[in-house]
Amino acid sequence: MSIEIGVVDAGRSERSAMVRVWDPLVRLFHWSLVGLFAFAYLTSEGWKSAHIVAGYFVGALVIFRVLWGVVGTKNACFSSFVRGPAATLDYLRNAVTFRAPRYLGHNPAGGAMIVTLLAAIATIATTGYMMTADAFWGVEWLEEVHVTTVYVTLGLIALHVAGVVLASIEHRENLAGAMFTGMKRSN
């Protein structure tokens, strides 16, 4: 789907085609995960039952996203954005010097971050679930893995947001806004 909209730049008008990049399910997943992860983090100390329920929903979201990454729309599929380490490192080298190419979907660093975040959040959900099972009740190493992975994930989230801001500045587009609307400019 392509939509033509007028853009005024320095007193002149140009035509810029907007295309749908992020499907509604990807956007709903993304913002639901943001909200539920924050809620689970904020309720981890004082409201255990809500924390556990939020954890189940987070786990279900991760399962959904992995499935949607295999059978979903073009830009949702892992095959469209997961690249090898060499391509990711090359992209990062170019990004720090503001010479990285623009991607309509996820760039190689974004793809690596998605896989890393999904793995980390799956670890959090799995260890959280295990901590509620009789077989693992009170096992200290499991709680340590759970808590450590939460803090590693918070660091990854900070890097993710920094990457979104950097790419938004470099390519003069609002990537966070695109995750709300699903639309990006085609060129």
pLDDT of residue 2: 43
Percentage of the chain surpassing pLDDT 90?
Answer: 84
Average pLDDT, the chain: 91
pLDDT of residue 5: 39
> What is the residue extent of each domain of the chain?
22-180
pLDDT above 90: residue 138: no
Query: Binning pLDDT at 50, 70 and 90, where does residue 15 land?
Result: low
pLDDT of residue 187: 78
Query: Binning pLDDT at 50, 70 and 90, where does residue 135 land?
Result: confident
Average pLDDT over residues 152-179: 95
Average pLDDT over residues 117-142: 93
Per-residue tokens: 126: 């799995």
- Which has more confidence, 79 or 187? 79
Sign of the dihedral through C-alpha 149, 155, 161, 166: negative
Q: How far is CA 115 from CA 52, 101, 140, 152, in A?
A: 24, 21, 27, 14
pLDDT above 80: residue 4: no
Alpha carbon distance 185, 170 (integer Å): 14
Per-residue tokens: 169: 């500045």
Predicted structure pTM score: 0.88
- pLDDT tens sequence across 22-75: 999 999 999 999 999 999 999 999 999 999 999 999 999 999 999 999 999 999
Residue 175: closest CA among 16, 69, 22: 22
- pLDDT tens sequence across 81-121: 999 999 999 999 999 999 999 999 999 999 999 999 999 99
pLDDT of residue 12: 39
